[in-house]
Amino acid sequence: MSEHVRQTEPFRWEGIAVKPYKAEGAHFAGITRQTLFEGGDGLACQLRYFEVAPRGWSSLERHQHAHAVMIVRGASRVLVGDRIVEARTHDLVRVPPRTWHQFQTAGDEPLGFLCMVDCERDVPERPDAAALALLRTDPAIAAFIRI
């Protein structure tokens, strides 16, 4: 990438493609991905921007790698482990290793968040029936999660 990449309209950047969140699947809704910094050449991490439409949600998943998230547009309800947090613009969310998590848009505005991850990372795991049953023992989480 060039040394300077301009924002061309809100949360869109010159030369950075708006891509599908994941290659395939129906375990997420209304979400796109833009890779702001690919990593490599002196950086062990990537920085991605995800945008989630109103009523959209990211995949319910966990993995060994951590996520470092900053909300930059709108607001989110986020499952992190056994908590559901209400995160607003500029709030930070840390997803520790091996922790179930899901981001959902809160309110009528799109949700946009930055997510920093290691370039080398493991593949996310989705919950099997046993993991879902365990998650659903908490009524608030049972009502929250989308799969």
Report the catalytic residues. Answer: 115
Distances from the Cα of 41 to the Cαs of 1, 37, 46, in angstroms?
11, 11, 11
Angstrom distance (rounded) from CA 14 to CA 36: 10
The region of 22-30, 52-60, 94-102, 128-136 touching a copy of itself under the rule CB under 8 A is 94-102
**132: contact with a copy of itself by CB under 8 A:** no
**10: contact with a copy of itself by CB under 8 A:** yes
Strand partners, 20: 32
The bridge status of strand 101-106 relative to strand 75-80 is antiparallel
Among 55, 96, 134, 140, interactor with a copy of itself by CB under 8 A: 96
**66: contact with a copy of itself by CB under 8 A:** yes
How many CB atoms neighbour CB 46 within 10 A? Answer: 17
Q: How far is the CB of 96 from a copy of itself (least distance, A)?
A: 7
Nearer to a copy of itself, 7 or 133 (CB): 7
**19: contact with a copy of itself by CB under 8 A:** no
DSSP state of 15: T
